[in-house]
Amino acid sequence: VHQAKGRDQIAASFELNKKINDYIAEHPTSGRNQALTQLKEQVTSALFIGKMQVAQAGIDAIAQTRPELAARIFMVAIEEANGKHVGLTDMMVRWANEDPYLAPKHGYKGETPSDLGFDAKYHVDLGEHYADFKQWLETSQSNGLLSKATLDESTKTVHLGYSYQELQDLTGAESVQMAFYFLKEAAKKADPISGDSAEMILLKKFADQSYLSQ
C-alpha cells in the first residue's frame, strides 16, 4: 500500500481489506483477527474522512469483490467531495451494482501456456463439443482465420486471443460461424441453470484474469 500512489494506492488499500475479510472468514478463531480488524479499521478511517464518509457504504460494498472498480469510483467521489460532478458517485455505484458486465466475475483459474504467441482472452473448456469445435477451427485456420486460437487436447480447452465481439465479426466465414456456435454451446453447458447469455458465461467462467481486469 505504501509503495503505491493515487488510484493504485486506493486499490491496494481495498485489496488489503478484502484479504483481511477473506482471512477472518476462513480462520474465525485465529489469534490474529483482532489485530487484522484494527488494521482494516485504520485503513478504512484513513480513506473515508470528512465528506468522503457519505460515499463509504456504497464503495465499501463494491470493494468486497471488486477493489479496482471501487478505487475508480473512489477517485470520482473525491472530486465530488471537492464540488465537481455532483451526483456522479451515486450514479456510478448504482451502475456498478446493476450492470451485469460489472458484476463480480471469477474467470479462468487455470494455468495459461507461456508459448501461445498471443494474449489470451478466454480459456474455454469445450467438453463434449471439443471434436466439433476442433474440426471447424482447423478448417478456419487452413483458410487463414482464427490464428489466435490454440487447442489443448489433454484438457479439451481452447485458448483464444479474441473478444466475443471480434469472434462475432468473423462469422461471415462459415467455418468461423460453426466454431463460434460450438464455443457458445460449450459455454451454455458450463452454466445451464443461470439463464445468462453465452457471452456472459464466457466472461464469468473462462475469461483470462488480465482480460477481466480491463
- Provide the CATH topology of domain 6-102: Butyryl-CoA Dehydrogenase, subunit A; domain 3 (1.20.140)
Q: pTM score, two decimals?
A: 0.57
Positions of CATH 1.20.140.180 in the chain: 6-102
Residue whose C-alpha is closest to residue 19's, from 3, 8, 33: 33
Low-confidence ranges of the chain (pLDDT < 50): 2, 4
Q: What is the pLDDT of residues 133-170, one digit of tens each?
A: 999 999 999 999 999 999 999 999 999 999 999 999 99
